[in-house]
Amino acid sequence: MLFGCDFSSAPTPRKPIVVAVGELAGTDAVRLSGLQRFSTLDAWGQWLIAHPAWVGGFDFPFSLPRELVEHLQWPLQFDALIAHYARLTRAEIRDTFAAFCAARPVGGKFAHRATDAPAGSSPSMKWVNPPVAFMLHAGVPRLLAAGASLPGLYAGTHKERIALEAYPGLLARELVGRRSYKSDDLAKQTPERLAARTDLLAALEAGSARLGLRLRLTAGQRAELLADARGDHIDAVLCLVQAAWGLQRAESPGPGYGLPAQLDPIEGWIVTA
């Protein structure tokens, strides 16, 4: 099973976790099989455990910047770091990271991972806009509970479950630039954003990205993706395509899955960056 996951650290029926399920179709295409939605973290975590073999692309950070971890004198082994982080409350995370930022100069408040610059991603210690630090807190412990392997970071107990950190914004920017294609704000769910989603899907289906993969959809799936003005479903599909690219490179040097041979074993890396 191949899938991409648009994640929420506090899912609800109105704003669920969305998983795009698919499969490789030959050497140059990925076929969307369907979409799954989860309104609780536990339901999503149990779904991961229920499927014995998968490669997934997950839209949340898998770890923290080494600079931050060393400053806080937190564990420098990934599994120990995540165990420590999982024991903290969200309030403790916010207060700890806010204190770190407060002591730093303007323009350099946050620590960054090496992958942030090439991916164009937010620092994984951000607790607002977007709250990716809380997404890490909610998501990674459940990946480990499913026995998943995180290449370059952690060898899980179920070697046939592979979790890759994905970032849909990286692929979306390649295809439609900085055009906004989604919004959670009803007033901002405009025809212009619908047009951007239409162009984004057309580019994915044409295989326009450097990843060399075409997305295969049914007419019904295309309509469903375009109708989601929040963009969660398209983001899950973008993660699916990134995971497919990684799967094609499972046997590449280093940790595999197209990840850099010398990635930092504390920080990890975003697939395709």
Interval 128-164: pLDDT, tens: 999 999 999 999 999 999 999 999 999 999 999 999 9
Asked if residue 209 has pLDDT above 90, the reply is no
What is the Cα–Cα distance from 163 to 159, expressed in whole angstroms?
A: 10
Determine the pLDDT at residue 186. 86
Average pLDDT, the chain: 96
Percentage of the chain exceeding pLDDT 90: 95
156 assigned to some structural domain: no
186 assigned to some structural domain: yes
Whether the CA torsion 231, 232, 237, 242 is positive or negative: it is positive
Range of the domain at 172: 2-61+165-248
134 assigned to some structural domain: no
Which residue pairs, CB below 8 angstroms and at least 24 apart, start in 82-85?
Answer: 82/140, 82/141, 82/144, 85/136, 85/137, 85/140
CA 178 vs CA 34, 91, 171, 192, 231: distances in Å:
28, 33, 11, 13, 15
117 assigned to some structural domain: no
51 assigned to some structural domain: yes
- Number of domains composing the chain: 1
10 Å CB burial of residue 84 (0-12, 13-18, 19+) is middle
What is the Cα–Cα distance from 145 to 162, expressed in whole angstroms?
A: 13
Determine the pLDDT at residue 107. 87
27 assigned to some structural domain: yes
